[in-house]
Amino acid sequence: MNQYAAVQDAPAAPILCDLRSDTVTRPDAGMMAAMAAAEVGDDVYGEDATVNRLEATLAERLGKEAGLFLSSGTQSNLVGMLAHCARGEEVLVGRGYHIYTYEAAGASVLGGIALDPLEVAADGGLEPAAITSAIKDDDSHHAMTRLLALENTHNGQPVPLARCKAAADAARAAGLSVHLDGARFFNAVEALGCAETELADLFDTLSICMSKGLGAPVGSVLVGPRDLIQWARRWRKMLGGGMRQSGLLAAAGLYALDTNVARLAEDRMRAERLGQALSQYGTVTQGTNMVFFTPEGGVTPALQHHMAARGVMLSGAEGTTRLVLHKDVTDAGLRTAMDGFASAFGQA
């Protein structure tokens, strides 16, 4: 029996290091001040100056014509697919991608859009040959394949530019458009060492999340061609996503773009340190700001209790845990986590 099993009923300590996700971050003082000072108006009327500035800023930064601020990455992906596809049309997507696995089949349920899942390669990409073979003939028996949806990063892996380009080229050769679920787009750019536009140029539309690695409390931005973004805006309204004085939230996104993109390398380096420390206790996969850890015998509730008693929050209790580094994990917090794991596996 592992040493930590004996303390599984220990009370949780104050949280010193929350590794469950990069969605758990709190706005810092600078972000709160930016939100408090935001110029606001009614965004449904197009009158919120801060929302307008966020949409325009990110669109220009990624080389696109327009942007649309939405409440979440799920909603951003959904309105993007609805703007690209009519009912009865089809999206090709990775089987393990967020759009297919974790967005409640919204495109199908609400939009009548078919999702055809393809196997995801080890590096997080989709094989061009698989894309080509999945594109349907113009036949009344089949859904009409309209869109390819890729993901970068995928499970923390930065998918190489060449792999993204090969997949996009295969889709465009058949007349498809290409969308990117870029929830952690800036993590991918940092890890790949490329310019933001080098990655963005491969896609017609991109969904960029403000509330993950960038640390804003709410929101994603869909960027792309102006006419398609206008359709997406109509879909946002139909889905109940039209917000009013949402500049309070958009201000956090602008602050995040100005302040938190440059520091993403810190998250990747801390993830590397954590992965190296955990490799002596089990199997580790590390990429950008995530570490996937499978100790011998798997993750158990007892391990979660052991870590919680030391102020460290973990997710998952069935074999593998995903540990996510973010702006609120300091060097001191990381050391607390590594010490906790060491004590759990009898190394302290």
- pLDDT in tens for each of the 348 residues of the chain? 344 444 444 456 788 999 999 999 999 999 999 999 999 999 999 999 999 999 999 999 999 999 999 999 999 999 999 999 999 999 999 999 999 999 999 999 999 999 999 999 999 999 999 999 999 998 899 999 999 999 999 999 999 999 999 999 999 999 999 999 999 999 999 999 999 999 999 999 999 999 999 999 999 999 999 999 999 999 999 999 999 999 999 999 999 999 999 999 999 999 999 999 999 999 999 999 999 999 988 888 889 999 999 999 998 767 899 999 999 999 999 999 999 999 999 865
Does this model's pTM top 0.85? My answer is: yes
Q: Answer whether residue 214 is part of any domain.
A: yes
Count of structural domains within the chain: 2
Give 149's strand partners. Answer: 93, 179
Q: Answer whether residue 324 is part of any domain.
A: yes
Residue 12 pLDDT: 62
Last residue of a domain, one of 209, 243, 277: 243
CATH of the domain at 113: 3.40.640.10
Q: Answer whether residue 43 is part of any domain.
A: no
341 SS3 class: helix
Does residue 133 share a domain with residue 91? yes
Q: Answer whether residue 191 is part of any domain.
A: yes
Does residue 152 share a domain with residue 93? yes
Q: CA angle 335-339-344, nearest 5°?
A: 150
Q: Answer whether residue 102 is part of any domain.
A: yes
Q: CA angle 286-291-292, nearest 5°?
A: 100
Does residue 331 share a domain with residue 226? no
Does residue 95 share a domain with residue 19? no
Q: Answer whether residue 30 is part of any domain.
A: no
CB neighbour class for 138 (10 Å; exposed up to 12, middle 13-18, buried from 19): exposed
Q: Answer whether residue 42 is part of any domain.
A: no
Does residue 55 share a domain with residue 11? no
275: domain range? 3-25+263-344
Going along 217-273, which residue ranges are E strands? 220-224
Last residue of a domain, one of 213, 243, 273: 243
Residue 13 pLDDT: 73
Does residue 17 share a domain with residue 156? no
Tell me how long the chain is. Answer: 348
Contact indicator for 235, 224 with CB cutoff of 8 Å: no
